[in-house]
């Protein structure tokens, strides 16, 4: 197996020109694409349809290329919100089952990516232990798919998960069910949080038995160091993409991670870049959140009390700027809302590098 990654700038959520060019040039084989992770220019919140738009055009395109349904073949994970310098783009992940070398010859682990998805998360399960467990099972499936046995070799787990909308809430209430929250914006946080805890459970970072419904989006001492979850109106199940290093994979790419302790943790970014060991940064993937304490380094911030701009938008702008300033490139993946993803106020950051 060999995994490769292509970062493609986009001129709009529907722009496929860059992708088409790489296919024509023979760099991307559409049959080998297993996931497309993108940043689109919506608000990244409840009424952001740029994610759905992008997925729609990508799906149609790949279906026209592959002449079959791609829902179960390609995992499309769009994260809305290119605040500040963040630049809209697609990260296309390909996997060829034929590597450059045999496993026996390999001395170094190489980038390996696996995918999986859960069943539909019913609106009444969203943000609750049911979602945690469904995600945990799917993460383990994706690890297997990536040829990774040791959780230590997992460096980033990207999950796209659903959210509650007014009609979905109405539906549940009509059958006398209950939802975790009736605030649609807040439901995005619950879904992200439950998904992240699912990752932590799958990787042994947390025991599932120690978690209860009440912990989700409340007990932030529980978190995963590698989970990155993102909620969108356009899907009803969770899509999981596991990134790690494996001897089963060949090629010159590898991935490492660090944890940003807060939104301005330049040191964590620098430590991650030092792991390059001479290799070139290909892509950075990170999570951002406004510190729920209302303070960063002891100073009051106003992100949580801004009724004009949602705090996820503020946080992406900051973390995007901090990372871009050190990496030297604003075309990176920074996604908002880091509930149970890294410590409270911080978040995981991973980088894919290319050797020599």
Task: Name the helix (H) or strand (E) containing 184.
Answer: helix 184-202
Q: Is 325 a catalytic residue?
A: no
The answer to whether 28 contacts a second copy (rule: CB under 8 A) is: no
Residues 230, 246, 250, 335: which is the catalytic one?
230
Q: Is 324 in the site for a second copy (CB under 8 A)?
A: yes
Residues that contact a second copy, how many (by CB under 8 A):
71
* Residue in 87, 96, 171, 271 binding a second copy, rule: CB under 8 A: 87
Reduced to 3 states (helix: H, G, I; strand: E, B; else coil), residue 256 is strand
From 26, 204, 278, 328, residue interacting with a second copy (rule: CB under 8 A): 328
Q: What's the closest the beta carbon of residue 278 comes to a second copy, in angstroms?
A: 21
The rounded distance, in Å, linking the Cα atoms of 156 and 286 is 9
Alpha-carbon distance values, 36 to 69, 254, 279 (Å):
15, 18, 23
Kindly tell me which residue out of 20, 53, 137, 344 binds a second copy, with binding defined by CB under 8 A. Answer: 53
Q: Which listed range, 18-26, 160-168, 205-213, 271-279, lies at the site for a second copy (CB under 8 A)?
A: 160-168
Q: Count of H helices and E strands in the chain?
A: 7, 14
State the catalytic residue, choosing from 2, 160, 191, 224: 160
Among 2, 13, 33, 34, interactor with a second copy by CB under 8 A: 13
Work out whether 14 is an interface residue with a second copy (CB under 8 A).
Answer: yes
Q: 353 with 155: CB under 8 angstroms?
A: no
What is the side-by-side strand order in the sheet with 253-260? 253-260, 347-354, 280-288, 333-336
> Does residue 174 bind a second copy (CB under 8 A)?
no
Q: Does the annotation mark 230 as catalytic? A: yes
Q: Do residues 323 and 346 lie in contact, with contact meaning Cβ atoms separated by under 8 Å?
A: no
Q: State which of positions 230-289 bind a second copy (CB under 8 A).
A: 233, 263-266
Q: Any contact of residue 85 with a second copy (CB under 8 A)?
A: yes
Residues with Cβ < 8 Å from 312, sequence gap 6 or more?
Answer: 44, 45, 81, 288, 289, 290, 336, 337
Give catalytic residues, as residue numbers: 160, 230
């Amino acid at each position: 197996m060999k995994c490769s990654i292509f970062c493609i700038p986009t001129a709009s959520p529907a722009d496929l020109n860059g992708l088409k060019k790489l296919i024509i040039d023979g760099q991307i084989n559409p049959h080998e694409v297993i996931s497309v992770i993108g940043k689109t220019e919506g608000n990244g919140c409840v009424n952001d349809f740029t994610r759905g738009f992008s997925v729609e055009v990508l799906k149609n395109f790949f279906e026209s290329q592959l002449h079959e349904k791609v829902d179960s073949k390609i995992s499309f994970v769009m994260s809305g919100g290119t605040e500040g310098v963040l630049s809209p783009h697609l990260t296309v992940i390909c996997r060829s089952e034929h590597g450059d070398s045999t496993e026996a010859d390999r001395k170094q682990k190489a980038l390996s990516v696996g995918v999986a998805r859960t069943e539909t998360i019913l609106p009444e399960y969203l943000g609750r232990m049911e979602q945690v467990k469904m995600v945990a099972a799917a993460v383990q499936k994706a690890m297997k798919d990536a040829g990774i046995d040791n959780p230590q070799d997992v460096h980033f787990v990207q999950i796209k998960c659903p959210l509650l909308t007014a009609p979905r809430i109405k539906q549940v209430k009509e059958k006398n069910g209950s939802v975790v929250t009736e605030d649609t914006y807040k439901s995005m946080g619950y879904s992200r949080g439950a998904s992240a805890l699912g990752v932590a459970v799958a990787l042994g970072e947390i025991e599932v038995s120690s978690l209860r419904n009440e912990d989700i989006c409340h007990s932030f001492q529980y978190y995963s160091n590698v989970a990155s979850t993102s909620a969108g109106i356009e899907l009803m199940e969770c899509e999981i993409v596991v990134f790690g290093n494996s001897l089963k994979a060949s090629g010159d790419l590898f991935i490492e991670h660090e944890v940003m302790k807060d939104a301005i943790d330049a040191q964590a970014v620098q430590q991650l870049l030092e792991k390059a060991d001479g290799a070139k940064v290909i892509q950075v993937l990170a999570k951002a959140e406004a510190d729920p304490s209302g303070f960063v380094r002891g100073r009051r911030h106003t992100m949580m009390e801004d009724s004009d701009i949602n705090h996820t938008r503020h946080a992406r702008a900051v973390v995007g700027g901090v990372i871009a300033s050190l990496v030297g490139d604003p075309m990176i993946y920074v996604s908002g809302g880091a509930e149970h993803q890294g410590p409270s106020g911080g978040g995981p950051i991973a980088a894919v590098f290319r050797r020599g």
